[in-house]
Amino acid sequence: MKKIFFASTLALAIISCRENKPENPLADNAVDNAESSVSTSFKSYRGNETTVDNIYFELIKNDKKLTALNSKIVKTFEESGKVVAQYKNILNTSASFYQDASYQTKNITDSLVKQQVEKEIQASSDQYDLKVKNITDRINLITKNNETLTNLYTVFKIRKTLPEIEKYQKAHPLKTDSLDSFINRQNTLVEELKKLK
> Cα dist. 92→56, 63, 88, 101, 142 in Å?
38, 42, 6, 14, 17
Cα–Cα dist 147/163, whole Å? 26
| Residues 155-173 pLDDT 10s | 999 999 999 999 999 999 8
Show Cβ contacts of residue 13 under 8 Å, excluding neighbours closer than 6 positions.
189, 192, 193
Q: What is the structure's pLDDT at 48?
A: 57
Q: In this model, does residue 131 exceed pLDDT 50?
A: yes
Percentage of the chain with pLDDT > 90? 71
Number of CB atoms found within 10 A of residue 43's CB: 7
Give the mean model confidence (pLDDT) for residues 136-157.
97
Give 34 or 57, the one with higher predicted confidence.
57
pTM of the complete model? 0.65
What does the mean pLDDT of the chain come to?
83
Q: Is the pLDDT of residue 24 over 50?
A: no
Distant-in-sequence, close-in-space partners of 25: CB < 8 Å, separation ≥ 6: 178, 182
